Amino acid sequence: MAHGTVNTKQVGDETEADALRTLISNGYNVSIPFGDNDAYDLIVDNGDRLFRVQCKTAWQNKSETIRFNTHSQTTRDGAYHETTYADSVDAFLVRYPETGTFYWIRVDDATSQKMELRFSADIDHPSINWAEEYEFDGSIPYE
């Protein structure tokens, strides 16, 4: 890969590395599964339980929202496949590269294809996923 050229694999690797650093610096023990065949990127140990975590990178969707994929996309034998993470992970740890902010989203709270996190809106509606409610402050919100 040429210097200065960034592809989606590199973006994902940067998100995963930054997630690892963030979790460790907040006192969590983190394990990395061997190989590339698991649905989760990290195993996070909070002392009471283990969390299977899928790291994702968000992009700006609109001026007031960011979006990330909540499914995996692969090509096998020339055919396109999408797989959700519903039974395979416990949470997404989502990085928004523009700010370096992480968001911890339980898989049960995530939508099945793409999820938007909103920073502001003219109305308050129950279907809005407010970014501030998911912002990772160093503490896993399961405790």
Tens of pLDDT along 17-74? 999 999 999 999 999 999 877 889 999 999 999 999 999 999 998 989 999 999 887 7
- Domain assignments of the chain as residue spans, ordered by start: 8-134
* DSSP class per residue in the chain: --TT---HHHHHHHHHHHHHHHHHHTT-EEE--SSS-SS-SEEEE-SS-EEEEEEEE-EEEETTEEEEE-EEEEEETTEEEEEE-TTT-SEEEEEETTTTEEEEEEGGGS-SSEEEEES--SS--TT--BHHHHB--SS-TT-
pLDDT exceeds cutoff 60 at 2: no
Residue range 8-134 in CATH 3.40.1350.10: yes
Q: What is the pLDDT of residue 48?
A: 92
Q: What is the pTM of this model?
A: 0.88
Look over the chain and give the mean of its residue pLDDT values, rounded to a whole number.
90
